[in-house]
Structure 1
């Protein structure tokens, strides 16, 4: 006999959904047969499987070790470890400053992503156990392209995942990015269009007119400063589609510096000697109006280096001061790296 006590991260789900996680190799018919025979009980009583689990509920499985091991499976949840740049963390959520080059979510090739690093971090910290991983998996709630840096939100608990999923779905979380684009822009704009993704090429097409299988997009931007050759932009992502900022701005004639998929090759070549091999796009600011919370992550070293060399550092610092209360000349000191009001 095996006994399980429902914890907070497992409460609120249907009993049969919990069993499907616990015994992931078993067919559903097996669960219902065992429930009918009372070989699986809930709080010592016969159950149907559609009950909503509550914290503290007791589940007993009157199964042989051989049967349990067979249906539980032996596949270990993938995890890895690296030092994470944490912008904010509490009991339920964590906001991580993802570096360019790191995947947000697992890919088919098995390369470690932020999800695996998050699990490794929580296991090492002792906030997650192997036993808990059988029925609950912490995960990220927003995704950045591999070569886009900046803040990714993740749920450490079920409550955290539900909260973050809700504000992303309802668009009550405001997401702001910094990027360097070709050309001079001197006025704010709110641009709209339609985006279509080609799954074979993983490339999107943006049009002002709606076309089959396209999705509406909205992007707002505010120029922070320009040297005539390029402009430092703050971009608000109103809808969150694949490659939206990169493709939408390229469609206006102002592609992102370093973007090899949607950018200007000749423009990019001027900066390869500086080490620019990917788009300089950084998710730097998150605002949650309903809770009066705001978070910021300064741009990476390479991004800041180009800002300096193009004499746009004053515009960059002034924007951070105005928007987030950061001090000038404190870019990498660690002071006031995030604000949480």
Structure 2
């Protein structure tokens, strides 16, 4: 027999929807049959499947272990190994600066060189670090990962550093995804570009990504090609480094497309230093684009349980190398 205690991440789901997700190899007809025969119960009673789950509810599944594993489509060793991999990722990457944390979200300052999400099965990314961190604090367990896996909500390139929004709960994931999609979270970056820029400017254009080359191309006018997406990037000069003919910029990412800031600035003749892919100037000791997700500003009208971040601004300290180049 398997008992599942419903937590906040499963609450408000229909029982049948939860069971179809949990027993992913079982048909809907089989699940309803098991409910009718009381081989699956809710709070010790027969259930129809249409019930809305509440935190603390008890679901009992009266299957043999082998049968349960078959309908879950899982390998116990694989599940255990995944949790161990998450713990190993946390130890490998180590402690990262956490800028803010509550029961639903976590904001972390990601160093350059770390993937936000896996590109390959063997990769270690911030996603695995997050789960390993939460396992280490006891906020989640290997068993809770069977029904919900915390994850990052916004992606940064491997060598772009700075603020990443992570969802610890399903509620956090849904809310942050919504805010990012509707552009209600203002995202600001710091970078250094070649040449002198003196005015605050809003750049508009159209971007196409060549997946095979992992490179994007930008046109000023709509090319009438469905492969191109509209983009908008705002920038404001912070300071000018006269001796090196470099400008420190704060960039607001209005739309969020791959390599958008890097390619957009390069397209106007002011590439980011160190960014070889987009014609950036070589700088001793720097072998990647100097781009840092510096500041996040949340909207003011957030309701519980997100009132603690309503209208708040969070910043991530610049990396040491960035500070050194600025000075």
TM-score (norm 2): 0.87
Q: Which residue of 2 aligns with 1:276?
A: 286
Q: What is the root-mean-square deviation in Å for CA atoms of aligned residues?
A: 1.7
1:104-161 alpha-carbon deviations (Å, 9 max, x no partner): 0122242110010010000011111111111011111111000000000111112222
Q: Does 1:155 align with 2:156?
A: no
Alignment partner of 1:201 is 2:213: yes
The residue that corresponds to 1:299 in the other structure is 318
Moved more, 62-71 or 139-148: 62-71
Post-superposition shift, 1:34?
2.8
Map 1:122-133 onto structure 2 (within 5 A).
122-133=134-145
Change (3 A) 1:32 1:286: same
The answer to whether the 8 A contact 2:32-2:48 is kept is no
Q: Which residue of 2 aligns with 1:250?
A: 266
**Which structure 1 segments of 5+ residues have no match?**
309-341
SS at match of 1:224: strand
Please give the residue correspondences for 1:109-128 in structure 2 after superposition, counting only pairs within 5 Å: 109-128=121-140
- Cα distance change of structure 1 residues 35 and 200 upon mapping to structure 2, 3 Å threshold: farther
Q: Partner of 2:277: helix, strand, or coil?
A: coil
Which whole-Å CA distance do the structure 2 matches of 1:172 and 1:28 have between them? 38
Query: Aligned residue for 1:100?
Result: 112
- Deviation track 1:67-88 (CA, whole Å, cap 9, x = no partner) reads 1133331222351212121111
1:46-125 equivalence runs, <5 A: 46-48=47-49, 51-72=51-72, 73-74=74-75, 75-76=78-79, 77=82, 78-79=85-86, 80-81=89-90, 82-125=94-137
Cα pair distance change 1:262/1:17, threshold 3 Å: farther
Aligned length in residues: 301
Seen in structure 2, the aligned counterparts of structure 1 residues 177 and 83 have a Cα distance that, compared at 3 Å, is: same
- 2: CA distance between counterparts of 1:29 and 1:208? 54
Distance 1:27 1:84 in 2: 43
The 1:66–1:152 alpha-carbon spacing in structure 2 relative to 1, beyond 3 Å, is: same
> Once the 2 structures are TM-superposed, how far is the Cα of residue 25 of structure 1 from its aligned partner?
4.5
**Equivalent of 1:287, from 273, 297, 314?**
297
Q: Residue in 1 aligned with 2:34?
A: 34
Asked if the contact 2:36–2:46 (Cα under 8 Å) also holds between the matched residues in 1, the reply is no
Q: CA deviation at 1:292?
A: 1.7
Mean Cα deviation higher: 241-250 or 56-65: 56-65
Instruction: Give the corresponding residue for 2:228.
Output: 214
SS at the partner of 1:178?
strand
Distance 1:256 1:31 in 2: 56
Equivalence for 1:45: 46
1:234 lines up with 2:247 in the alignment? no
